[in-house]
Amino acid sequence: MATAFADVETVRSDAAPVQDQTETKVTQTSSQPEQGAKGSAPAASSWNLQAVVSKHGKALLAPIAGILAFLALWAVLAPQVDTSLGALPGPVEVAEQGAALYNEWQASNDAKAEFYAAQDGRIAAGTQAIAFDYAGPPTFLDQVFTSLKTVALGFVLATLFAVPIGLAAGLSPVFNAAINPLVQIMKPVSPLAWLPIVTMVVSATITSADPMLAKSFVISAIVVMLCSLWPTLINTAVGTASIDKDLLNVGRVLKLGTFQKLTKLVLPSSLPYIFTGMRLSLGVGWMVLIAAEMLAQNPGLGKFVWDEFQNGSSQSLARIMFAVIVIGLIGFLLDRIMMGVEKFASRNRLA
C-alpha cells in the first residue's frame, strides 16, 4: 500500500510541471486573441452598426418605400385626371400650396403686429381712445389651432360623461340593461343628424350678443361630444364588468367605501379598457369635427375646406388636398399622444 501511494505521489509530482507548462501555453495563447481583439475594434464596431441597421432598417425602410411608391403613383396618375378646376394636383403642386399657406400666415402675423403697433401709437398720442382687436381673416394655421381646441373641448366633455356612466353600467347589471338600448340606438347617429338639433338648442341657450365662446365653436364641440362618447362608454363598461369578483369581495371584506372602491379597485383594473375607448373616441371626434365645422361654419379646418371648395380657383384643389394631408397627420399624432399617456398611466398604476 505504501508503495502504491508513493507511486501515485511520484506521478503527481511528475505531472505538475506539465500542467504548469500547459497553463503557460494557454496564457500565452489567450493573450494573443486579446491583442487581435484590440486590433479588430473598428471591425467589431462596424459589425455592431450593421446589426443595428439590419435590425431597425427594415422597420424604417418599409414605410419609407411605401410612402415613396404612393407619391410616385400619385405623381404619375394625377395629371391624367381632369376636374372642373383643372388637372388633379400632384405632390409638388400640393407642397407648393402648403408653402404658400405658411407664407400667408407669416404675412398675416406681420400685418397684425403693424396694426397693433400703429394702434398703440395712436392711443399714446391721444387720437384713439379705445383699443380694437385685429379683424383680419384667419389663416390656415389659425384654423388648425381652432380645430384642435374644438376637438379638445368635445373630447373632454365626452370623457366626463362617458367614464362615470360606463363605470355605473359595469358595476350594475340592471343599469347596464336599462341604458343598453339607448346606447345602441344613439351610437350610429351621424353628426349631420345631430347638427340641426344642437344648433337650435345652443342658439336658444346662448342669447348673449358677445358670449364667452362663439356659438359655432360650442355647436361643433357638442356635436363632437355626442358622436365620440360611445367608444369610451362601452369600453369602460366592459372593463369594469370584467374585474375579478374575488377582488371586489376583498373590498367588501375590508369594508371599503364607494370612493375607495372606485379609486383602489375599479379604476386601476379597468384603466386599459378606458384608455382604449378614449383613443377610439378621439379618433372618431377628429373625423366628426370636419363635417361639423363645415356645416356650423366654425372657423376651423372643416370651414377651410368648404371655403376653398366654394372658391373654385385653380389653387383650391391643391389647398384642399394639403388640408386633407394635414388632417391625417394630426389624427395620427393625436393617437400617438394618447398612446403615450396610456403608457405613462399604466406605468404609474403598476408602480
Tell me what pLDDT residue 44 has: 56
Spatial contact of 278 and 345, defined as CB atoms under 8 Å apart: no
CA dist list (Å): 29 to 32, 155, 222: 5, 69, 78
| Paired strand residues for 83 | 86
* pLDDT tens track for 179-201: 999 999 999 998 889 999 999 99
How sure is the predictor about 33, in pLDDT bands with cuts at 50, 70 and 90? very low
Tell me the per-residue pLDDT of 237-287, one tens digit each, with 9 for 90 and over: 999 888 877 777 777 777 777 777 777 788 888 888 999 999 999 999 999
Q: Can you give the pTM of this predicted structure? A: 0.78
Condensed to tens digits (0 to 9), the pLDDT of residues 212-237 reads: 888 889 999 999 999 999 999 999 99
Per-residue model confidence as pLDDT tens digits over 54-102:
666 667 788 888 999 999 999 999 888 888 777 889 999 999 999 999 9
| pLDDT at 21 (0 to 100) | 43
Which one, of 279, 310, 306, lies nearest residue 290 by Cα?
A: 306
How many C-beta atoms surround the C-beta of residue 261 within 10 A? 16
